[in-house]
Each structure stands twice: as C-alpha cells, then as structure tokens.
Structure 1
C-alpha cells in the first residue's frame, strides 16, 4: 500500500512534520495571538510536508481543531491523540486525517495489531509511537507504518525534559523492525539537535513546541538547513573516489 503521508515526509527537502498544538503539557499557551489559519499558512510557506494536529485535551486540543486544519490545507495530517478503537480511527479519517497516532505503551500488543490492521483498511497510515526496544521490534506490519520514538514520557503526560538520547539508542531496533520511515518525535527544540537526528539516520522528525515558540518560524528552518548543510559530506568528484576541495 502506498502511503501519502510517508511519501510526502521521506521525499521532502525538510522532512519535518510540523505540529499544530494549542498548549504545552503544563498548560502554557503556544499560539498566542496567532490564528490556526496563520500557523498553517506559515508551516506551508516553510515547506512542511505533513502536519500534525494534537486533539488531546491535555494540550488544549479537540476534534474541531483537526477539522479546522483539514479545511485549511491539502497536506497529509497526523491526528495526535489516544486513539484506542476502530470507531476512533474511522472518526479520524472522517475529520480529515491521513495518519493516526497509536501509542504502543498504552495498548496491548493484540489490540495494537487490530488497530494497525483497521487503520490500513481505512486508508490511514499508522503512526506507531514506541519508547523501548521491545516495542520497536514488535510493531505489527511495521513495513506499512511510521514508527516514531517518543523522546518524552507519555505516562507523565510528556512533562519534564526530553531524552533525545532515546532516539539515538532505539534507531537500530526501529530499523530492524522494518519500517520505511523511522521518526524521532517530541522534545526537539534546537535546530542543531534536529539536524543531528536526521544525520544519524532518521527519515523524519515531528516538531511542535520548538517551532511554535519561535518568534519567526523561518529562523528555525534556516538554522536547521545550515546545520544540515554543515553536517553533509562534500560531494565526491566523478571517477576519483575523492571529495572535492
């Protein structure tokens, strides 16, 4: 099955899923005086390949927010919430989602398998979130899923500092699981950290608070681009096997 969400992300110049989120987990407002339409337009202007919309109430989200974003853009959209049933998957699709978050830590393995099957049958990309090596290796039908390492602790409502080293530690297991699209998600605020995660081998990133807290989104994106360019090896000259100087 071809996933529009995955194709858009892995084919992007900036493979960053940019997230629409009203509040942080501790209740701090993120949109300020910006409208949802202004945030979506800014993300599109900076080349976002996909959007994420947080509908969970911890973060001030709602289904209405997902529907609003879906009416504003043609980009693939991830619904971020605790979806635990087939009805929730169908509702996500009807509201305009292209992908849906499934949190491995909150679901029995058999339930996760049923939800992955159902999501795929509905034309949704399962965006399966993991935090341990065991979870990473046991994602059902991983070859048809995005598998995302959450750098924060969902059991603590994602409060506290991010553990970006978790993404580094779990990448090999995520890749062994078979996903075509490993993603590092949550807690990525510094553009240099974002660039390093891609250099290590992640196909994409999910960034929300780090973007929304910036006065100018373009500044974050341009700094990200500079760090990526600095990390890339120089091009090799044809037939020499040597880097150009």
Structure 2
C-alpha cells in the first residue's frame, strides 16, 4: 500500500509539473517569506503539544469529514491551542490538495506541515511554494540516497523535515540523517494495522535532543496520556479532531 500511495503521489506531481514546470515552482518557492520555526513551536514543554491535522478521508477508514472550508478548520485548531497544523495534500485516497495548504497558510500563523507521500525534489519545492514550513518524509518509502537528498533540500529551503519511522531500523536511519524532529507512526503504512505501544518500544532509540512525535492511534485523552508517559513531546492527531469537536478535543488533549 505504501509503495502504491507513493507511486500515485509522484504520478500526480508529474501531471502538475506539465502545467507548472520545475523552474516556475522553484521561483515561487524562493520568493516565499521565510518558513516559520517549527522546531521552536514544537520544542518540549511541561505539556504535550499537538499537530492538528486536516484530513478528509483515509485508505483504512474511508470518508471521515467533508471539510468544505479547511481554512476555517485551521483557525479552530489555532484557537484551540494547536502548535502546528498538518494538511494532507494527497488527493486520491485522502481527498487533499495543495490548494488546501495554501488556504490554511493564508488563514493561520502556525507552522504548517505538508503531509503527503514525498519522493521527489519537485514535491518539496511545491510544498515551499504553497507555504509549508514542514515536510513529511516517510523513511519506509525512500532509500538512503533519496532520503538524504530530500532531507537536505528541505533544510536548504528553510523548512523542517518531520522524519516518520515505524521500526527500530527506520528510527536509526532517521537519526543518521541528523533529524531533529522524528515521528513514530503507530499505523503500519504497508498493512494499515495499528500498534499504540510501538512508540514506547522505540522511545529509547531517539537521539538526545530530538523532538519526539507520536503519530496515529489517538482517539481520546487517554491515548495522549499513554504516549506522553512513553516520552512523546508531540502528538499528531487527525481523525479524532475532524470527526468530533476540534476545540473541545484539543482542550482535553492539551491538558495531558
């Protein structure tokens, strides 16, 4: 499934590239105001921090929420105390787009993550051109050369890579990059099975000084507390926010 999602995301980016060549996107990326400091926004504190996600659907759950106005939802997240906002821009399975990211960028002052299946420099440049401050890199989808190339480009453009892992070997690869923001996804993107305890099993492998992000399997404040007790500095939450009251849920999560 991960290979298919990545291949489709790259194919869709090639279609966009025909309409908007690399040079044009690069020029747009370079004239953007500097990216916001996501590491500062997400730095460890006395309470857990939340990356709140705008997510219409998923391959595992199907349709979740219509979200006709992603900017309005983003403003709710900001009002509710989120430290950053994740915008899913994959269109086939998640119903997102770069237009969503641009709308959110215009609406809030928080760092914004482009969450997609990133595998090419063009997609990274698209992210900056649309106003992203962070870009997701999924270790399982990339070989070491690709991972290093994309990581370095994200840094060069002034953004922050969120390097996502799902095993000890992948976390070690993220650490070898020098990544300062590393996530552990409880959902295996090959099988879509969930393992809420995976973060805790891998927590000791995070390098000192790394911001530790727990992703997926957050339905309640108890789940947030579970991750916090295991050492998470940040949780990334989508489904629980888009299917419920985002401000009330954020309030409960942030009280952990």
- Residues 1:81 and 2:116 aligned together: yes
> Structure 1's 94 and 22: CA in aligned 2 closer, same or farther, altered over 3 A?
same
Mapped partners of 1:206, 1:33: distance in 2: 18
Structure 1 residues 33 and 87: CA distance shift in structure 2, 3 A: closer
**Cα deviation, residue 154, structure 1:** 1.2
1:3-18 alignment, distance < 5 Å = 4-10=37-43, 14-18=48-52
1:29 equivalenced with 2:63 (yes/no) = yes
The SS at the match of 1:138 is helix
CA distance in 2 between partners of 1:10 and 1:104 (Å): 22
Higher relative contact order (CA 8 A, sep 6+): 2
1:54 aligns with 2:83: no
- 1-structure distance, mates of 2:160, 2:232: 18
Q: Helix, strand or coil: the match of 1:223?
A: helix
Contact 1:150 1:186 in 2 (8 A): yes
1:218 and 2:247 matched: yes
- CA distance, structure 2, for counterparts of residue 36 and residue 111 of structure 1: 31
Q: TM-score, with normalisation over the residues of structure 2? A: 0.79
After superposition, what is the alpha-carbon deviation per residue over 1:44-67, rounded to whole angstroms, capped at 9, x for unaligned?
Answer: 111111000001121111111111
Equivalent residues, number: 220
Aligned to 1:38, the other structure's residue is in SS state: helix
Q: Which has the larger radius of gyration?
A: 1
Give me the CA root mean square deviation.
2.2
Mean Cα deviation higher: 5-14 or 25-34: 25-34
Contact map agreement 1:3 1:125 (CA 8 A) in 2: no
Q: Which residue of 2 aligns with 1:182?
A: 212
CA distance, structure 2, for counterparts of residue 221 and residue 91 of structure 1? 29
Distance 2:87 2:187 in 1: 18
* Contact 2:81 2:251 (C-alpha < 8 Å) held by counterparts: no
**Which string of whole-angstrom CA distances, capped at 9 and with x for unpartnered residues, describes residues 27-75 of structure 1?**
6433346622321121011111100000112111111111111111121
Match of 1:239 in 2: none
2:234 paired with 1:204: yes
* Alignment equivalent of 2:153, drawn from 99, 118, 126: 118
The verdict on how the C-alpha distance between 1:27 and 1:144 changes in structure 2, with shifts beyond 3 A counting, is: closer
SS in 2 for 1:18: strand
Per-residue deviation at 1:187?
2.3
Name the structure 2 match of 1:103: 138
Name whichever of 32-41 and 131-140 sits farther off. Answer: 32-41
* Distance change >3 Å, CA 80–CA 134, structure 1 → 2: same
Structure 1's unaligned 5+ residue stretches are 229-245
Closer, same or farther in 2 for the Cα pair 1:35/1:67, shift >3 Å? Answer: same
Between the aligned partners of 1:142 and 1:201, the Cα distance in structure 2 is 21
- Give ranges in structure 2 of 5+ residues lacking alignment: 1-34
